[in-house]
Amino acid sequence: MRTITLKNVSKTFYDKSRKLTPVLAIKDFNLRVDDGEAVVLLGPSGCGKTTLLRLIAGLDDPDAGEIYYNDIPLDAIPIEERGIGMVFQNYVLIPHWESRKTVGFFLRLRDREQEVPAHVNTVAKITGVDIESLMGRFPRHLSGGEKQRVSIARAFARDLELLLFDEPFANLDAKFRSQARVELKRLIQEFNVTLVYVTHDQVEAMSVADRIVVINAGRIVQSGPYHALHDDPDSLFVAQFLGTPTINTFWGRVSDGAWDGSYMGRVALPRPQRDGSEIIVGIRPEFIKICDAGAGIPATIERVIPFYAEKYTLLEVWLRKRRWRIQVPLHEFFQPGETVHCLLDWSRALFFNAQSGERIR
């Protein structure tokens, strides 16, 4: 049983390279993670994800606010009773310890070394390889991916209640990475472990999370399941951060009650806006269809980029003097320079205040 609560948590660093300029890494952060929930902290580089994970782990102290495990203040719980398994980006393995010693540390202290092989087996399942062969080696004799496997094994080889993972699969081969996420998800459900998982990769977030918390500049900008964030973003930031290929966005002004982008024509707004207001309209690449000549708007293909794993082709086209991204099925073939005709589904358009980035619904 493990819940985590963050109440008004803030953390500031002082940048030594810039005359101790304060860097407000986490700002007034509130979050509740339920027992057995898998929460992914997703955001761009430098948004504060690792800082947040370190605070939740008790490795750093917040400057303001409180952190609770099961509604008990974190600093009132002795470290050995916190039940945390951690995997950080740089995996911090002790250089003069063989993997076996690293993985077995927690259980050996409790005279339960005989349980280590079962945990090693668990990790072999997650990462899809036999890690027994790594057990007799020192960190300097391990590749990046192998170090990552050892640190995952260490995280699991204890009485687990909470897993804190910071990009744990970054060094695994792409083939193993997707398998590892699925297996991790299965195991945390099986063992009823609470998971907080940091990544900047939305595909990773999608496959691991019950709930995604999108962070920008140290604050939560939106949280929910992937499809809700993707289909119904509250802000331009979330609309642009989630979804591949990236949403098409165009700037325009309100005139006579409609959005008006030069060369783009006029588009009805979801609710009335002041004339002259600046609004960004967004259309996802999947809502543009190639149709027969005569039916749609002509566009010239500039680039054709197949994404075999994702099973689509991205076309970059010039349409009404703007560059657009269009997603088409992989089996349809196009050439750069070719003219195609496009149908734009404006009923799926999203509108954002150009100044604040807030969604207009």
- Per CB under 6 A, residues contacting ligand ATP are 13, 15, 23, 25, 43, 45-51, 200
Nearest CB to ligand ATP, comparing residues 131 and 213: 213
Name the burial class of residue 109, with classes exposed (0-12), middle (13-18) and buried (19+) by CB atoms within 10 angstroms of its CB. Answer: exposed
Closest approach of ligand ATP to the CB of residue 13, in Å: 3
Least distance from C-beta 196 to ligand ATP, angstroms? 13
Q: Which CB atom, from 99 or from 235, has the smaller least distance to ligand ATP?
A: 235
Least gap, CB of 195 to ligand ATP (angstroms):
17
Taking the least distance from each CB to ligand ATP, the nearer of 47 and 264 is: 47
- The residue among 43 and 252 lying less far from ligand ATP, judged by its C-beta, is 43
Q: How far is the CB of 203 from ligand ATP (least distance, A)?
A: 15
Beta bridge partners of residue 299, listed in sequence order: 319, 340
For residue 39, the minimal CB distance to ligand ATP (Å) is: 15
Smaller CB distance to ligand ATP: residue 48 or 104? 48
**Distance in Å, CB of 311 to ligand ATP, minimum:** 28
Sheet containing 288-291: order of strands: 288-291, 339-344, 297-307, 312-319, 322-329
User: Do the beta carbons of residue 134 and residue 152 sit within 8 Å?
Assistant: no
Residue with tokens 């089996």: 331
Please identify, using beta-carbon distances, which residue of 237 and 351 lies nearer to ligand ATP.
Answer: 237
Cβ at position 214, least distance to ligand ATP in Å:
12
Residue number, 18 or 274, with CB nearest to ligand ATP: 18
Give the whole-angstrom CA distance, residue 151 versus residue 263: 55
Which is nearer to ligand ATP, 164 or 264 (by Cβ)?
Answer: 164
Smallest gap from residue 166 Cβ to ligand ATP (A): 7
